[in-house]
Structure 1
Amino acid sequence: MLSLYPTANATSLSSPTTFSPRSTRFRMSHGSLPPLPENRIVLSVGTVVVDFLAAVASYPNPDDKIRTTSLKVQGGGNAGNALICAARLGLSPRLISKVANDTQGRGILEELQADGVDTSSVVVSEEGNSPFTYIIVDNETKTRTCIHTPGYPPMIPSDLSQTSLSSALDGARVLYLDGRIHETALLVAQEAARKYVPILVEGERIREGLDDLLKLADYAICSAKFPQTEEMDVDSLLELLKQRKDDNIAIPTCVSSPLTKLRANGVGTVCGRLFVGTAEKVPPSELQDTTGAGDSFIGAVLYAICSNMPPEKMLPFAAQVAASCCRAFGARTGLPHRTDARLASFLS
């Protein structure tokens, strides 16, 4: 399910970590598409990594020796994945992050640039190592386990010059923060707030500095268990909303609650509506890998914000894009382009 909570300033979204599909076979003609958003520049501060993905028949027991069924080396990281998704949907993404001048770092930048992400504000350290993640994909349970190694040295606010900051924010329609690199993210968020650039914060889980970022957020995309609420029993409300869903519909849909009072950690008490969206029902034979599903959801939300989509349309659209991600191996392989026919009904 997908749930929507308003933040102190505007709206926030909660998304699950599993979705489904991929659609390279189906394409729309450009003439059938609506115009791209007038302002489609999006900026992100967050992580980019190299993913080493190994698919196995089933997750190993301690001390086991097993073989992979498939192997892929691909760029990853929350911000990187979300921006590539946004680029394929027609936006113009910019990234603030940090890598090392090593083989992995150069590969990270080349892959982002090839998909249309502006990396001119990415800091490249001459020493240290770029971040990377080992990902074990269990073919039996359709789950993935991530083992992350952070980059070194980490990014700090002094790495970002005032010139780079001003250039990165120039003309931006929205700023997306993935909750990492929190000190630099806060610096950029404060400047974005001064320039009245809307801010979207990812609340995957409680992280250092997240509360400070949420206080500046116009949107917050959260995992299903975050934020927790105190003013009302959200679990009961979710159950009521789920009863209104039509389980016979395979495509993503959305239902909402009446206006109510919510309390969310980090943003205080707000009044708003709770939205519950559904994911596409993907046949088990087509479900490949959930890596990056949440990131692709965020990439689609960035497009939706730039397009001024209402929440009732935004949630099913983002769920459909995230579903495409899960029909392929790796976080980026299945990311759809704007011309994908599966998106036609959401973009019309």
Structure 2
Amino acid sequence: MKLLLVGLCTVDVVQRVTELPAPGEKVQSLQVDVAAGGPATNAAVTAAALGAEATLVTVLGAHPLAALARADLEAHGVRVVDLAPSRSEPPPVSAVAVRDRDGERTVVSRNAAGSEATWDGAVEADAVLLDGHHPNLALAVAKAANAAGVPVVLDAGSWKPVLDELLPLVDVAACSAHFTAPEPGLHQRGVPTVITTAGPGPVRWSTADGSSGEVPVPAVEARDTLGAGDVWHGALAVAVARGPSVTDRIRFANEVAAERVRFVGPRSWTTAIAGRDKT
């Protein structure tokens, strides 16, 4: 199974702390990790851990920090297609603090402002996941995927201007609880399946033909919620490629994300989901 995951790649500096610091406060961390991050990137790591051939299309460049992200991805089985390999600017960096007792986190990030990366090739994959952080790239890949009959999954964390053009090309829009879109609604914009996550709450879904429902999330003790939504989206993309029903896809993604939050650190969970197949 081949998955193409398209979007943001950051360098995450993750500090685990007893309590999240108040403004002006300095605290000592319990643990420090450096890893590649970003919605499409964490989804790619998830897909690779689940046994897919995962290719991440992104913008990294030649800055020394980019080498850290690239090495992390290669170590976890993700093939990287860097559309700006000679770029000298540092990649986006995220500063993350994770509270030890419950896995709650704060994130400060730059993201991919001003990116002009695009795509002029074909799409040869069983499913595509887009996070929309490189707008021209997302549009070009979505059009190529549509032409090839490849399903497109959108990680819709927040509204982005590109979504006006992108949504009609999307087969599954997987939205966060905080996602809001201007009228018309996503089904009216041409999206066949809309899914909305709510952290530990049930995941709701609806289809353009009027069907709807919700799928409960397994109850687990959360140790680290960093990237859990990205992991959920990566598992969903794997399930879409495998082709089960919408409820089975969501159930699989819920189970994988529940495994992720049980483990401390940005990559320790990958061995727990390796080869998992419950779709």
TM-score normalised according to structure 2 size: 0.84
Question: Is residue 2:262 matched to residue 1:327?
Answer: yes
Task: Tell me which amino acid in the other structure corresponds to 1:150.
Answer: N
In structure 2, distance between residues paired with 1:207 and 1:231: 15
Residue of structure 2 equivalent to 1:185:
138
Q: Match of 1:212, SS?
A: helix
Mapped contact 2:15–2:29 kept (Cα < 8 A)? yes
Residue of structure 2 equivalent to 1:63:
24
Q: Match of 1:271, SS?
A: coil
Residue of structure 1 equivalent to 2:96:
135
How far residue 91 of structure 1 moved from its aligned partner, in angstroms, is 0.7
In structure 1, distance between residues paired with 2:271 and 2:175: 22
How far residue 329 of structure 1 moved from its aligned partner, in angstroms, is 2.6
Out of 275, 292, 299, which is 2:213 matched to? 275
How far residue 297 of structure 1 moved from its aligned partner, in angstroms, is 0.7
Residue of structure 1 equivalent to 2:105:
144
Mapped contact 1:200–1:220 kept (Cα < 8 A)? yes
Distance 1:108 1:221, change over 3 A: same
Distance 1:69 1:256, change over 3 A: closer
Q: Considering only aligned residues, what root-mean-square deviation do their CA atoms show, in Å?
A: 2.8
In structure 2, distance between residues paired with 1:255 and 1:180: 24
Aligned positions, number: 265
Q: Match of 1:43, SS?
A: strand
Residue of structure 2 equivalent to 1:46:
7
Uncovered stretches (5+) of structure 1, i.e. residues with no partner: 1-39, 233-251, 263-269
Greater relative contact order (CA < 8 Å, ≥ 6 in sequence): 1
TM-score normalised according to structure 1 size: 0.69
Q: After superposition, where does 1:1-348 map in structure 2 within 5 Å?
A: 40-140=1-101, 142-150=103-111, 154-157=115-118, 160=119, 162=120, 165-166=121-122, 169=123, 171-227=124-180, 270-283=208-221, 287-336=222-271, 339=274, 343=276, 346-347=278-279
Distance 1:128 1:282, change over 3 A: same
In structure 1, distance between residues paired with 2:170 and 2:267: 27
- Greater Rg over alpha carbons, structure: 1
Mapped contact 1:44–1:96 kept (Cα < 8 A)? yes
Mapped contact 2:117–2:134 kept (Cα < 8 A)? yes
In structure 1, distance between residues paired with 2:203 and 2:63: 48
Task: Tell me which amino acid in the other structure corresponds to 1:95.
Answer: L
Uncovered stretches (5+) of structure 2, i.e. residues with no partner: 186-199
Identity of aligned residues (%): 28
In structure 2, distance between residues paired with 1:211 and 1:89: 32
How far residue 175 of structure 1 moved from its aligned partner, in angstroms, is 1.4
Deviant stretches of 4+, over 6 Å:
228-232, 252-257
Q: Match of 2:79, SS?
A: coil
Distance 1:293 1:320, change over 3 A: same
